[in-house]
Amino acid sequence: MKSLRLMLPVVLVLLTAAAFAQSDAQKSFDSLKTLAGDWEGPVTLDPPVPEMQSDKPVHVTLRVTSRGNALVHEMQEAGQPLDSTKYDHPVTMLYLDGGHLTLVHYCDAGNRPRMTARTSPDGKKVEFDFADLSGGNEQGHMYHSVFTTIDANHHREDWTYMMPGDKPMHAYMDLQRTK
């Protein structure tokens, strides 16, 4: 009986910590869902890639789906037709998984990196850290992502792609809402 009384406070502390973690993940997810809509803005690559024009506009569509349980993020070069056989068009899914905000990026490189989120104290920045990878890694893979909300009509996205040989390439997008 004495050991049960000693374990009860430990169990309560663990349950409380799990509830706070879930609420932070839910708050982050709810915050990201407010970005639903169409966005455009320049993308800057670091280091610059000669065959890719820097500061070329990108179009991002964010859409809440699956009765509010998922957020679809689609990215393409602004003004290009939606033709996945000719143009890059990666799709990313964001969802809650066991109390964690999770991102799976369906990459044009043919793989699917999974990342888990952590939130800034002010709630305006959601940062996704690499967890694991499905599919091949010959051409590299997406490794890190940060969504920063500026206001209802402005947000930034920072994506880190790990090139072969573990060389990071960063894409910075400064996006304005178009609808």
Q: What are phi and psi of 90, to 5 degrees?
A: -70, 145
CA distance 116 to 139: 22
Q: Tokens representing 168?
A: 């990071």
Question: Residues near 92 by Cβ (< 8 Å), separated by ≥ 6?
Answer: 72, 73, 74, 75, 103, 104, 105, 106, 145
92 — pLDDT class (breaks 50, 70, 90) = very high
Q: Tell me the per-residue pLDDT of 114-132, one tens digit each, with 9 for 90 and over.
A: 999 998 888 889 999 999 9
**Where residue 50 sits, what CATH number does that domain have?**
2.40.128.20
| 8-state DSSP, 152 | T
Q: Tell me the per-residue pLDDT of 142-173, one tens digit each, with 9 for 90 and over.
A: 999 999 999 999 999 999 999 999 999 999 99
pLDDT for residue 154: 98
Does the pTM of the predicted model rise above 0.95? no
Average pLDDT over residues 33-49: 93
Domain around 54 = 2-177
Q: How many domains does one find in the chain?
A: 1
Q: Tell me the per-residue pLDDT of 50-74, one tens digit each, with 9 for 90 and over.
A: 766 656 799 999 999 999 999 999 9
